[in-house]
Amino acid sequence: MSDANATTPRVFIARHGETEWTISGQCTGNAEIPLTENGKEQVQGTGKMLVGAGKLIDPSKLAHVFCSPRVRAVTTLDLLLGREAQKHLDADGKLTFTDDITEWDYGRYEGITPAQIKERREEEGLGKWNIWVEGCPGGESPGQVEERLDQLIGQIQKIQEPFINGGAVPDVLVVAHGHILRAFVKRWLKYPMDFEFTMMMEPGAIGILSYAHHNIAEPALLVGMGFPNAA
C-alpha cells in the first residue's frame, strides 16, 4: 500500500491448509476432513512469515476474525494466530465462527472428483458443470451462496466504515475454503456470481482485499503492496 493508503482497512482472506481431499481433488463441503501434516506445515509457514507483531497480519490490530466452523478452517486459525491471540480476540467479542463463510454445499457432488462429476453428468445427459451458474444438485445454488456472503460482507463493512479515513486500522481476517473464498472475492468486488473471473488460491495462502480512495463504496482487490524497510 502507498503511504497515502497505509491506514485503509484491509480484509485478509486465508484458505485452510491441505487435506487428503484437496490432494485427491474431491469436493469438500460439509465433510469434516482434517489437515494433513503437510497442511499444518503450510499454515505454520504462512503464519511464521506473515503473522505477528509488526508483520502483515498483526493480531493486536485485528478488529474482527470470521472463521468457518469446519475443523480444517478452525485448525488453520489455531495455527495462524495461536491460542493466546484467539483467547484475547474472543474475550473482546472479536472472534466469530459463522456458517456464512462455510464452503459451498456440494450436495450430491460432495466427496467426488471433477472427473467423476463429468462422468455422472454424461450418464444423466447433462453438459459441462458450471458451479457459478448451476450451483450443486441437492446442495446450494449461486443465489443462496451470494445471499450469505453479502450478509457477511455487510457485517465487515459496518465494522470498518468508521475508520475508512484513518485512525485505528480495523483489519479483518476471514479463514475459510477455496471455492467460497473465490465467491467472496467476486461479491466483495460487486461482481455477479457467474462473472468470469479466474482466481487461484493455494492451500494455506493469504489474499488481501481493501477499499479504493478511502471509500467504503469502492471495495477493491489489493493486488500488490509495499513493505516498510526492516528496522
Annotated catalytic residue within 16, 64, 177, 179:
16
β-strands 62-67, 95-97: how paired?
parallel
Enumerate the domain spans of the chain.
Answer: 3-221
Is the domain covering 3-221 a CATH 3.30.70.2190 domain? Answer: no
CA distances from 169 to 13, 90, 145, 161 (A): 16, 19, 29, 11
For residue range 185-215, list pLDDT tens digits in order. Answer: 999 999 999 999 999 999 999 999 999 999 9
Q: Spell out the residues 6+ positions from residue 163 whose beta carbon is closer than 8 angstroms to its own.
A: 7, 9, 63, 169, 170
* Calpha distance 216→163 (Å, rounded): 10
Is 103 an annotated catalytic residue? yes
Predicted confidence (pLDDT) per residue in 47-85, tens digit: 999 999 989 999 999 999 999 999 999 999 999 999 999
Rounded CA-CA distance 153/172 in Å is 11
What is the spatial distance between Cα 5 and Cα 12, in angstroms, rounded to a whole number? 16
Instruction: Single out the catalytic residue among 18, 103, 110, 140.
Output: 103
pLDDT level of residue 166 (50, 70, 90 thresholds): confident
CA dihedral 227, 65, 205, 132 (to 10 degrees): -120
pLDDT in tens, 4-56: 445 799 999 999 999 999 999 999 999 999 999 999 999 999 999 999 998 99
* 146 given a catalytic annotation: no
